[in-house]
Amino acid sequence: MKKTVVLALAISIMLVNTVIAASAGGAARGGVKSSQGADALLAMLPDTDGVIAINVAQLNRQIQSILASKPETAAELQKQFDQIVAETGLDIRSIDHLVMSLSLGSGRQMPDPLILVSGSFNQDRVLASISRKSGRKWRTSRHNGQRIYSEVSVKKTAKPSRGSSVTFFDNQTLAVGSLASVRQSIDARAGAKPSALQNSSLMAVFHQAAAAGTIHFAFNMPEQLRQRLGDANGNGSFLKPLAAITQIIGNVDLNDSGLLANVSLITGSDQEAADLVNLITGGLSLVRMALGGKPEADNLLNVLNGITHSQAGNAANLTVNVPADLIRSLIDQIKTKAPKV
């Protein structure tokens, strides 16, 4: 579980960092290739509480535009891009779309996430590169006729770690996650198990979020999680308004002006939404107070100052507006603190 979550986070970070770096590597592709789009990938994603989708090709072009005035930054990050290509065999510029299931869990243990990627891949190179870097080799198995590659440790350790699994549906689509989640994806693709695309309540809000933005997401809040939040007491009692959230939807977009993110927290009533807005107001004030007077936190304070929130009926809405020059300043700040490669 932990390894798969780390892998999911690593891919997300890799997308941000290496897509930025790709802007130093020449012009973007002339257009998005006709590989699997988000809905086609959702049809292979097992039914879940939450979905995140990224149009990676579009994100690439948007970040290139923002960094057009910072070629030196892009050139330095290109080194990181080259290193990741060497380690994984996966060229970010070959990715078109990415979708990820990230269930909030119906019980105490959160289910493993699953990532589906469309683009153009050389599976032999990807497997060989990851195996060489991780010190692991791959064991193959089959599920419903589909070959799965699972990591097997070749290093002797006191406690064997749990590896990830990957399957290539074709040379344009791959799935990565735990062995169980990859098998579920194979079943969803074959129609043997429900897919996320068949979850009507989730897809209704997901497609609403997908109407705008390069990154969009939607979550149904599991009843068990809402119950635990509602039962919170002591120091955690101030979080009780979160128990009213039934769905979370949002999108993120980039353009020459910067980043714009919209998030809606859907509740069951106008009063619950009002209580949630009050909680957000108090939380933002506390964070601003904690960061105040710290010069190194100026950029973060400017990000917080770009957050607005309001109530619209039974929804608490947040908008985050980060100007392009602030994004470039944040990148420079991160770059100066990052260890030299």
pLDDT tens for each residue of 48-81: 999 999 998 888 777 777 777 777 766 766 676 6
Cβ neighbours for 247, distance < 8 A, ≥ 6 positions apart? 205, 218, 219, 220, 221, 265, 266
Residues 107 and 238 reside in one and the same domain: no
Q: Hey, is 247 helix, strand or coil? A: strand
DSSP H or E segment with residue 116: strand 114-119
Residues 3 and 95 reside in one and the same domain: yes
Residues 107 and 195 reside in one and the same domain: yes
Q: Which of 199, 233, 260 is the last residue of a domain?
A: 199
DSSP class of residue 52? E
User: Considering only CA atoms, which of 46, 39, 290, 92 is closest in space to residue 192?
Assistant: 46
Is residue 303's pLDDT more than 70?
yes
DSSP class of residue 71? H
Whole-model pTM: value is: 0.79
pLDDT tens for each residue of 190-223: 999 999 999 999 999 999 887 778 999 999 998 8
Q: Is residue 213 part of a domain?
A: no
Per the structure, the count of domains in the chain is: 2
Residues 151 and 85 reside in one and the same domain: yes
User: Considering only CA atoms, which of 317, 316, 321 is closest in space to residue 304?
Assistant: 321
**SS3 letters across 94-107:** HEEEEEEECCCCCC
DSSP class of residue 113? P
Terminus-to-terminus CA distance in the chain, angstroms? 29
Residues 176 and 267 reside in one and the same domain: no
- Other beta carbons within 10 angstroms of residue 89's beta carbon come to 20
Query: Can you give the residue range of the structural domain that contains 152?
Result: 1-199
At residue 28 the predicted structure's pLDDT band, cuts being 50, 70 and 90, is very low
Phi/psi for 97 (5° steps) reads -130, 155
Q: Is residue 111 part of a domain?
A: yes
